[in-house]
């Protein structure tokens, strides 16, 4: 569940650890702890939503070169420019990664929608409008106060769950 570092991956900002992420295509969810409010903006700088102190979970798909490793590493190191909605979060100094969940194989809008619709009805999870879903009709960005139950549900789904913090548990606010 918590593999040791693998050379070549970007370090998890603030954790000093490196996740062992596959270069294959797939679908993923990244959970960030927000130490304060963060505005989610589009690439033109327009505000789409605001997430308060708590946790934000983003569901995405990795179908390009480098697969899950390339896409998730980009989110974790903080992008140089805001392109996707999640970049507003991952580039914020108030955001710290908590866990990464991924499934190798299926990718694209339908796989992304499938993972998002799996977690959407979970108790305590609230969609942030349509933030994170530029090519979909389903929300892909969610807010919660406690990500533990979400992580447990994802682990039951059968992919790989990797905790970013040293304790292997969710962070307390």
CA 132 from centroid of its chain's CA atoms: 10
Tell me how many degrees the CA angle 160-1-171 measures, rounded to the nearest 5. 100
Residue 152 — pLDDT band, cuts 50, 70, 90? very high
Q: What rounded mean pLDDT belongs to the chain? A: 78
- Residues 101 and 122: their CA atoms lie apart, in Å, by 16
Tokens describing residue 27: 């679908």
Q: Which long-range contacts (CB under 8 A, 24 or more apart) does 9-12 make?
A: 9/69, 9/73, 10/73, 10/76, 10/77, 11/76, 11/77, 12/76, 12/97, 12/164
Percentage of the chain beyond pLDDT 90 is: 26
49: helix, strand or coil: strand
The pLDDT of residue 80 is 67
> In what helix (H) or strand (E) does residue 30 lie, and over which residues does it extend?
strand 26-34
From the list 101, 97, 104, the residue with the least C-alpha distance to 59 is 101
Comparing 148 with 2, the larger pLDDT belongs to 148
The per-residue pLDDT for 59 is 92
Bridge-based pairing state of the strands 38-41 and 160-163: unpaired
Q: Are 67 and 23 in contact (CB under 8 A)?
A: yes
Q: Is the pLDDT of residue 17 over 80?
A: no
Residue written as token pair 């130490």:
35
Q: How many whole angstroms separate alpha carbon 168 and alpha carbon 149?
A: 14
pLDDT for 22 beyond 50: yes
Q: CB count, 10 Å around CB of 132?
A: 28
Backbone angles phi, psi at 92, to 5 degrees: -80, 135
Q: What is the pLDDT of residue 47?
A: 77
* Structure confidence by residue, pLDDT tens digits, 59-110: 998 888 888 988 888 777 765 666 666 777 877 888 888 999 999 998 888 9
**167: pLDDT strictly greater than 70:** no
Longest dimension (CA), the chain: 39
């Amino acid at each position: 569940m918590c593999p040791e570092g693998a050379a070549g991956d970007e370090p998890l900002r603030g954790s000093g650890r490196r996740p062992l992420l596959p270069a294959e295509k797939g679908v993923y969810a990244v959970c960030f702890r927000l130490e304060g409010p963060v505005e989610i903006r589009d690439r033109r700088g327009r505000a789409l939503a605001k997430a308060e102190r708590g946790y934000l979970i983003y569901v995405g798909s990795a179908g390009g070169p480098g697969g899950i490793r390339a896409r998730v590493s980009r989110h974790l190191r903080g992008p140089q420019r805001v392109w996707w909605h999640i970049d507003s979060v991952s580039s914020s100094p108030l955001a710290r990664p908590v866990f990464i969940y991924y499934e190798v194989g299926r990718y694209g809008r339908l796989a992304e929608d499938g993972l998002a619709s799996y977690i959407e009805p979970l108790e305590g999870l609230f969609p942030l409008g349509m933030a994170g879903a530029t090519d979909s009709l389903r929300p892909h960005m969610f807010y919660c106060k406690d990500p533990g139950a979400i992580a447990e549900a994802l682990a039951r789904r059968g992919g790989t769950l990797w905790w970013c913090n040293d304790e292997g548990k969710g962070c307390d606010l």
